[in-house]
Amino acid sequence: MTLALSTEGLTKTYSNNLAALKGIDLRVQKGDFFALLGSNGAGKTTAIGVICGLLKATSGTVKVNGLEQKKHISEVKRMIGLMPQEFNFNPHQPNIEILTTSAGYFGITRDKSSLRAELLLKKMELWDRRFDVAQSLSGGMKRRLMLARALMHEPQILILDEPTAGVDVEIRQSIWQYLTQLNKDGMTIILTTHYLEEAESLCRNIAILDEGDLIEQSDMKKLLSKAKKQVLILESEEKLPENISIEHCDCEKLDDHTLKVFQGESTTISDVVIELASSNIRVSHLRSAQNRLEKLFLLLTN
């Protein structure tokens, strides 16, 4: 087991806006890509603060790789890389210095940290901006710099608090690809995000917090299986006929080229496309009308 958290509330916080936890029991396995979800104020950032040792719990324990955090605070901090939601670096400091300074906090030598910074800045496509100050970067570039900083000391566990907030689709996709590769290489990743399609695409297991309570902890596929019906929007190059029938599905024609399909429980997306093709209807574009995880999230959090 990589990480286990059992705690009840907090004795102190750095902000009055942080929610108190109510005796949650959170477990993350080694090598997992884990989603920690919840609405604003649900307790996600509080849980992260407790895990990282930034906030003190009134009771309970945090264990990382078998080490109790309170007794091995330095070792546990070394295992974890944190990318917080808010930008918290010196905006007037050169980008490469932000990384090497962070590495120094973990006892990494200047020579080694310089090589590590070069590697990560090139990965994040920021090498050409290494001597620029952080405030000169765009929002997406700052996010990538934050990710690079979290990885400077080569942590075993990476915790990401809204890593793609405010970035465009292209940058978000590149960050997803990089995180997926890190996870394949063995890194445990805990992700909080408001982009629920991000969690559904990346994560294998999930926990949902609501007002400080842990209301769901499950395998992602098992949880999504509870969403028996998915709504699809399909666009056709040809003009759609008036009456369209798909076995085990309900169909609603939105306009001459757009069809809304309420997918049956035993029907796959491929089944829908193949049956339409048999009626000489070629699907040029397909999307989900509502993310399945989003639907379940709204139901679970009322």
Which CATH number fits the domain that encloses residue 88? 3.40.50.300
Contacts of 288 (CB under 8 A, 6+ apart): 230, 231, 232, 233
Q: Are 207 and 32 in contact (CB under 8 A)?
A: no
Tokens of 112: 């080694």
Regarding whether 149 and 57 lie in a shared domain, the answer is yes
Q: Give percent of the chain with pLDDT exceeding 90.
A: 48
Kindly report, residue by residue over 179-219, the tens digit of the pLDDT: 999 999 999 999 999 888 788 889 999 999 998 899 999 99
Regarding whether 289 and 162 lie in a shared domain, the answer is no
Kindly report, residue by residue over 245-280, the tens digit of the pLDDT: 888 888 889 999 999 888 776 677 888 888 898 888
Local confidence band at 178 (pLDDT 50, 70, 90 cut-offs): very high
Residue 262: predicted pLDDT: 82
Q: Are 214 and 26 in contact (CB under 8 A)?
A: yes
Give the integer Cα–Cα distance in Å for 33 and 179.
Answer: 9
Local confidence band at 59 (pLDDT 50, 70, 90 cut-offs): confident
Give the integer Cα–Cα distance in Å for 55 and 49.
Answer: 5
Local confidence band at 12 (pLDDT 50, 70, 90 cut-offs): very low
- The mean per-residue pLDDT over the stretch 221-231 comes to 74
Decide if pLDDT at 9 tops 60: no
Number of domains in the chain: 2
Decide if pLDDT at 79 tops 90: yes
Q: Are 94 and 132 in contact (CB under 8 A)?
A: yes
**Domain that residue 286 falls in:** 230-300
**Angle CA 268–272–277, to nearest 5:** 140
- The mean per-residue pLDDT over the stretch 89-112 comes to 95
Decide if pLDDT at 170 tops 60: yes
Regarding whether 121 and 71 lie in a shared domain, the answer is yes
Q: Is the dihedral of CA 288, 293, 296, 302 positive or negative?
A: negative
pTM: 0.77
Residue 56: predicted pLDDT: 83
AA identity, residue 213: D
Regarding whether 236 and 203 lie in a shared domain, the answer is no
φ, ψ of residue 187 in degrees (nearest 5)? -80, 135
Q: Are 293 and 198 in contact (CB under 8 A)?
A: no
φ, ψ of residue 62 in degrees (nearest 5)? -125, 125
Local confidence band at 131 (pLDDT 50, 70, 90 cut-offs): very high
Regarding whether 146 and 291 lie in a shared domain, the answer is no
Give the integer Cα–Cα distance in Å for 211 and 173.
Answer: 31
Residue 167: predicted pLDDT: 81
Regarding whether 215 and 254 lie in a shared domain, the answer is no
Decide if pLDDT at 97 tops 80: yes
Is beta strand 188-192 parallel, antiparallel or unpaired with respect to 10-12? unpaired
Decide if pLDDT at 37 tops 70: yes
Regarding whether 271 and 160 lie in a shared domain, the answer is no
Range name among 34-38, 127-131, 281-285 with the lowest pLDDT average: 281-285
- The mean per-residue pLDDT over the stretch 148-162 comes to 96
Question: Which of 224, 258, 281 represents a domain boundary (last residue)?
Answer: 224
Is the pLDDT higher at 298 or at 240?
Answer: 240
Regarding whether 182 and 150 lie in a shared domain, the answer is yes
